[in-house]
Structure 1
Amino acid sequence: MNTPTTPRIAIVGAGPGGLTCARILQQHGISATVYDRESGPEARNQGGTLDLHEDNGQIALREAGLLDEFFRLSRPEGQEMRQMDSDATVLFHHTPEAGDRFKPEIDRGQLRDLLLDSLEPDTVRWGRTLRSVDGPAGGPRQVRFADGATVEADLVIGADGAWSTVRRAISPAVPRYSGVSFLEAWFHDVGNRHADIAELVGQGGAAAADGDRGLFAQRNSGDHIRVYIIQRVPADWITAAGLTIQDTDGIRALLLDRYRDWSPRLRQLLTDNDGLYVDRPILALPVPHTWEHDPTVTLLGDAAHLMPPLGVGVNLAMLDACELALAIAKTGTVDEAIQAYEATMLPRSHKMQSLLDKGAEELLSTELPDFAHEESR
């Protein structure tokens, strides 16, 4: 029979937030099971690169006992940043100093593997699509899956991202479209096949905007670059043009027309990609997003505070996960742990949500970002 000191914990979502939470709980001798809808760890590409910051993401990795391994895998040179205008004139160029570890880059897949490999065997249960979280607020909760399986839990942690199913148990909020959309393009073996683009982007990221359109290119490991084509468009802009996402030639022609006044060098980022484009409309939760305290359900990361992708999402998810796990480990009951966690997490996320509420629009701005005007952080 479970006691308050040995709660049955179900974490939904095997992304960086959910895995970090499970790892830190295990570091404190507390078991947790992670459920994920994907068929396995290799089911899909995990996405591009991200920077883990010294004041949030790295705090979580230190608590997880994985910081040294992260530094071994990370790319501090990825902190390089170039800001250009639509003529490809460089307006600002930041090169990190030797030994700078404030926010080194790591591929999402590498980070996920690092966390997965750190967990006890059978911590993650794959192929479990969550259908609902039922049962009384005081618990125990019934976690029901699409395959008919049900598990009982004293605490359900929603780390299941933008379209969180766990969130429905405590909040009616759903993500809304920001009015800005990303179109992702991939470039492989760039040193040989896309040498000019490799030189343009450098070892980190390169951005350009004209007020209505933007581009952001980012170096990944393994000689790959991902480019995000940023536009203020309706969410259905591709179908509205009579195209599908598989119509690569048609989308390229549309982009060339929309970016016709841009430098030919930058226009390579629109058209020389390898393979299909990926449509990524930018979504965000209402600001602020909150809910009535529930003693058996809570949220972290995008499930709690989805924001535009401006370098804080994964960092906040991992910090959330760290603080929640520590609260569970150090607080008398699950209810008290959730209260302590949310007392810190919600005000922090509300502040960041407010700061980034129009952040997607800022990606199109011709003004230099704040870091371009400061030598210090």
Structure 2
Amino acid sequence: MTTDVTIIGAGLGGLTLARVLHVHGIPATVYEAEASPTARAQGGMLDIHDYNGQPALEAAGLLDEFRSLILEGRQAIRILDRDGTVLFDQPDDGTGGRPEVQRGELRQILLDSLPAGTVRWGRKVSSTRALGEGRHEVTFADGSTVVTSLLVGADGAWSRVRPLLSTATPEYTGRSIVETYLFDGDVRHPAAAKAVGGGSLFALAPGKGIQAHRERGSTLHTYVALTEPQDWFAAIDFTDPCAATARITQEFDGWAPELTALITDSDTGPVLRHLYALPIGHRWDRVPGVTLLGDAAHLAAPNGEGANLAMYDGAELGQALAAHPDDIEVALTEYEQAVFPRGTEAATEGTQLHELLFGDDTPHGLISAFIDDEQTP
């Protein structure tokens, strides 16, 4: 290819694309709004699946580096009743196909695998526009611009590249999460740490739940899910951590103290995150010189697939471009014909998962799903 690839967004998807292109000798530049690799915490644990995330890392030539990050035992799953009774306990026997790693550490191995200067930090996109003949101009917040013949939007839910292809915008799913952290859980929060176990915890009721991961260093990272309109959360002052914590905890009145401690004993202030999704089946007509990957293409409510799909999209796009170096449009068409059904399938399955997690039959429907999965050869 004689055309440099311009990638907007240095998340896992954009970096995987850049790395796969580099493996094939194709130059790329990644523009990222964040000021540096360490400007923001990079989230918690990710389970990297053997059918999409791991093949993407294999295409990137980074499987060995990935395996060095795996936290042993973290595939364990526990489901507790609201009174603390253990309803389901699946240990990690080392044979599962979804090993857990820290998102930030995974991002770092991707960054380290790229030539110096590939990622341009502090370049927040303010707008994009078509110039004709497959060329596009990207304008940054500092007023600078770049013109490219191949633009890839890997810039997440609120993509500035998506409007070149689609009028779709993310909509609120009706559910939000509140994040908390308990550090050094085994020593400082032993009851909560025991409840969480060695991997993931689910304590669920219709419309709400407490989910937690055991991260590196016995950090307990909790996601408190509540099905409420955005106005409900707007009435809570999250700038007052104590008041916000007390209000969220009220929704779990009567639950076991080792579960509510995951909220009340947080070593950080509670962080509110609304969940948004693009319409299931989101797609666009082929527009020369531009495409999307990851959440920019098929944002869905959290279902364990988002990061994996973004990396897989990046790897597939990179391989398509390498296979058709003389015809970008053939490569983009081939890639999009696969990405549309892939995103639709994942979003549909995610909707079904959220019904298992927060529907009227929770947690028993979720338990049945795990048991069925265990019994499937």
TM tier, smaller: over 0.9
Tell which deviates more after alignment, 19-28 or 201-210.
201-210
Question: Is residue 2:23 matched to residue 1:23?
Answer: no
The equivalent position to 1:266 in structure 2, one of 248, 259, 262, is: 259
Question: Is residue 2:332 matched to residue 1:338?
Answer: yes
Question: Is residue 2:297 matched to residue 1:304?
Answer: yes
Name structure 1 gaps, 5 residues minimum.
none
- Paired residues for 1:84-233 under 5 Å: 84-98=80-94, 100=95, 102-233=97-228
- Across the aligned residues of Structure 1 and Structure 2, the Cα RMSD in angstroms comes to 1.4
Percent identical among aligned pairs is: 43
SS state at 2:181 partner: strand
Give 4+ residue runs of structure 1 displaced > 4 Å after superposition. Answer: none
CA distance in 1, matches of 2:202, 2:208: 11
User: Would the aligned equivalents of 1:288 and 1:350 in 2 still touch at CA under 8 Å?
Assistant: yes
The equivalent position to 2:69 in structure 1, one of 70, 73, 93, is: 73
User: Would the aligned equivalents of 1:191 and 1:198 in 2 still touch at CA under 8 Å?
Assistant: yes
Task: Say if 1:344 and 1:137 are closer, same or farther in 2 by CA, change over 3 A.
Answer: farther
CA distance in 1, matches of 2:136, 2:234: 42
SS state at 1:78 partner: coil
User: Would the aligned equivalents of 2:4 and 2:26 in 1 still touch at CA under 8 Å?
Assistant: no
Task: Say if 1:272 and 1:216 are closer, same or farther in 2 by CA, change over 3 A.
Answer: same
| Cα deviation, residue 361, structure 1 | 4.5
CA distance in 2, matches of 1:40, 1:225: 26
Task: Say if 1:220 and 1:16 are closer, same or farther in 2 by CA, change over 3 A.
Answer: same
User: Would the aligned equivalents of 1:158 and 1:303 in 2 still touch at CA under 8 Å?
Assistant: yes
**Counterpart in the other structure of 2:342:** 348
| Cα deviation, residue 265, structure 1 | 2.0
| Cα deviation, residue 145, structure 1 | 0.9
CA distance in 2, matches of 1:238, 1:208: 21
- Paired residues for 1:246-265 under 5 Å: 246-265=239-258
The equivalent position to 1:285 in structure 2, one of 278, 301, 325, is: 278
Task: Say if 1:140 and 1:255 are closer, same or farther in 2 by CA, change over 3 A.
Answer: closer
CA distance in 2, matches of 1:350, 1:253: 38
Query: Which AA in structure 2 matches 1:342?
Result: E
| Cα deviation, residue 139, structure 1 | 2.2
SS state at 2:109 partner: helix
CA distance in 2, matches of 1:191, 1:42: 27
Question: Is residue 2:363 matched to residue 1:366?
Answer: yes
| Cα deviation, residue 358, structure 1 | 5.6
CA distance in 2, matches of 1:226, 1:80: 15
CA distance in 1, matches of 2:292, 2:70: 28
CA distance in 2, matches of 1:273, 1:299: 37
| Cα deviation, residue 342, structure 1 | 0.5
**Counterpart in the other structure of 1:63:** 59
SS state at 1:134 partner: strand
| Cα deviation, residue 261, structure 1 | 2.3
Describe the superposition over 1:20-64 as per-residue Cα deviations: whole angstroms up to 9, x where unpaired.
Answer: 000000000000000000000010101111110011000010111
SS state at 2:101 partner: strand
Describe the superposition over 1:183-236 as per-residue Cα deviations: whole angstroms up to 9, x where unpaired.
Answer: 001111112211221111122100011213201011111221110111111123
Query: Which AA in structure 2 matches 1:164?
Result: S
| Cα deviation, residue 288, structure 1 | 1.4
CA distance in 2, matches of 1:195, 1:176: 39
**Counterpart in the other structure of 1:320:** 313
Describe the superposition over 1:210-268 as per-residue Cα deviations: whole angstroms up to 9, x where unpaired.
Answer: 2132010111112211101111111232332xx32121221222233221121222111
SS state at 2:68 partner: helix
SS state at 1:111 partner: helix
